[in-house]
Chain A
Amino acid sequence: MSFPSFNLLAQSILSGIFIGGLYGLIGLGLGLTWGLLRQINLAHFGLVFLAAYMSYHMATVWHVDPLLTLLILPPLFFLFGVGMQWVLSRFSISPFNSLLVTFGITVVMESVIQAIWTADFRRLETHYNDQKFTIGSLYIPVPELVTLVVAVSLSLLIWAAMRYTDLGKALRAMAEDGPIAAAFGINQKGMSLMLAGICAALAAVAGICLALTFTLTPSQIFAWVGVVFAAVMLGGLGSALGPLVAGIIIGVSEAITMAVAAPSWAPIVSFSLLIVMLLFRPGKL
Chain B
Amino acid sequence: MKLFNRFLSAVAAAGAVSMLAMPAAAQAPAPLRIGSTLALTGPLATTALTHKLAGEIYVDQLNARGGLLGRKVEWIVKDDQSKPELARTLYEQLVTSDKVDLLMGPYATGAILSAMGVAQRYNKVLVHHTFGIPALAKYEMAFPAWSLGSDPGTTVPNSVFDALAASPKPPKTVAFVTSKFPSIHFMSLGAREVAKKRGLQEVLFLEWDFGNRDFGPIAARVKDAKPDLVWVGDIGLEGNMLLDAMKKIDYVPPLHFHTYPAPGPMTKSPDGKNALSLTIFEEHAPFTANPVAAEFVKLFNERAAKANLPDTSVEVQAAASYSAWQILEAGVRGANSFDDKAIGAWLRKNRVETIHGRLRFDGPGNYGDDLMKIKQVQNGKWVVVHPAQFAPGGVKLQVN
Q: Which residues of A contact B (CB under 8 A)?
A: 4-5, 7-8, 11-12, 14-16, 18-19, 110-111, 114, 118-123, 125, 129-130, 132, 139, 141, 144, 214-215, 217-219, 223, 227, 251, 254-256, 258-259, 262-264, 266-267
Contact = CB atoms under 8 A, between A and B. Distances in A.
A4 B224 contact: yes
Contacts of A16: 214, 216-217
B150 interface: no
B382 to A, nearest CB: 16
Interface in B294-313: 307-311
Nearest to B248: A141
Contact of A218 (B45, B307, B310): B45
8 cross-chain pairs, A with B, having the tightest CB-CB distances, nearest first: A15-B216, A119-B45, A258-B217, A12-B217, A263-B208, A219-B43, A141-B248, A259-B217
B307 A118 contact: yes
A219 B48 CA distance: 13
A263 B207 contact: yes
A255 B211 contact: no
Nearest to A10: B220
Contacts, number: 126
A38 B206 CA distance: 42
Contacts of B46: 119-121, 217
Contacts of A130: 247
B245 interface: yes
Given A251-B214, A263-B212, A266-B208, A215 B310 contact: no
Interface stretch (B86-94, B120-128, B260-268): B260-268
A18 B237 contact: no
Nearest to B263: A121
A228 to B, nearest CB: 11
11 contacts: A7-B224, A8-B217, A118-B308, A118-B310, A119-B40, A120-B49, A120-B309, A120-B311, A123-B265, A214-B213, A263-B218
B366 interface: no
Contacts of B221: 4, 8, 258-259
B249 A121 contact: no
A15 B245 CA distance: 9
Given A118-B307, A125-B268, A8 B213 contact: no
Interface in B176-219: 180, 206-209, 211-214, 216-218
The CB with the most chain A CB atoms within 10 A, among B45, B213, B218, is that of B213
B41 interface: yes
A18 B220 contact: no
The CB with the most chain A CB atoms within 10 A, among B211, B214, B245, is that of B214
A219 B220 contact: no
Nearest to A23: B213
B: contact size bracket = 35 or more
Main secondary structure of the interface of A (DSSP, over half): helix
A215 to B, nearest CB: 5
Contact of A118 (B207, B248, B309): B309
A130 B207 CA distance: 27
Nearest to B50: A120
Given A12-B220, A120-B46, 18 more contacts: A4-B224, A7-B224, A11-B216, A12-B217, A16-B214, A118-B49, A118-B309, A120-B311, A121-B310, A123-B265, A125-B268, A132-B248, A139-B250, A214-B241, A215-B241, A223-B211, A259-B221, A266-B212
B323 interface: no
B310 A219 contact: no
Nearest to A268: B209
B240 interface: yes
A5 B249 CA distance: 15
A119 B180 contact: no
The CB with the most chain A CB atoms within 10 A, among B45, B245, B268, is that of B45
Nearest to B307: A118
Contacts of B236: 121
A8 B209 contact: no
B147 interface: no
Nearest to A12: B217
B363 interface: no
A128 B65 CA distance: 52
B216 A111 contact: no
Given A5-B224, A120-B49, A264 B208 contact: yes
Nearest to B82: A219
B350 interface: no
Given A114-B41, A120-B309, A258 B214 contact: yes
B312 to A, nearest CB: 11
The CB with the most chain A CB atoms within 10 A, among B41, B220, B262, B308, is that of B220
A16 B180 CA distance: 21
Contacts of A121: 46, 236-237, 262, 264-265, 310
Contacts of B42: 219
Given A123-B268, A263-B207, A263-B218, A19 B49 contact: no
A254 B240 contact: no
A247 to B, nearest CB: 12
Contacts of B244: 129
